[in-house]
Amino acid sequence: MKMESKILIVDDVPKNIQMAMNILKNEGHKMYYAKSGEMALKLVNEHDFDLILLDIMMPDMNGFTVCSKLKSDEKTKNIPVIFLSGKDSTQDIEQAYESGGLDYVVKPFINIELITKANSYVKLKQLEDKFNRL
């Protein structure tokens, strides 16, 4: 029995949310989105996500801050976070990992890269959850 997976996409640009959803729509995940870090932090308390795709550059609260908050909360610390960014500087990538991200995908997305990484981290999270229930 395959558990339904839930992915949260966090980006302040609706076009980017739509693009990621279109790429992942045939993979069988239930997709949610938030247009701000504040909204994302609210949603993670209402749903158990298997993966968060998180933009870095957002007004009010950037992705690094959102990720740090997720990782410091007992309820959300084990949700894998993949950063999405148009920036590919070494400093941004290092900061993404330092704030608790597991991976980094540069925009515009390479479809197969986003699909493969998303599916892998969702499977990993579901296996960890299953193992932790034993």
User: Which letter does DSSP use for residue 110 in this model?
Assistant: -
Q: Which two tokens stand for residue 65?
A: 């801050």
Domains and CATH numbers, the chain: 6-133 (3.40.50.2300)
Mean pLDDT of 25-35: 95
pLDDT value, residue 63 = 97
pLDDT value, residue 1 = 41
pLDDT value, residue 92 = 92
pLDDT value, residue 3 = 66
| 78-126 pLDDT per residue, tens | 999 999 998 888 999 999 999 999 999 999 999 999 999 999 999 999 9
Could you tell me the pTM of the whole model?
Answer: 0.95
Mean pLDDT of the chain: 94
Angle formed by the axes of helices 90-98 and 63-71, to 10°? 20
Q: For CA atoms 82, 61, 48, 133, give the dihedral sign.
A: positive
Contact between residue 9 and residue 40 where contact means Cβ atoms under 8 Å apart: no
Q: Is 7 exposed, middle or buried (0-12, 13-18, 19+ CB in 10 A)?
A: buried
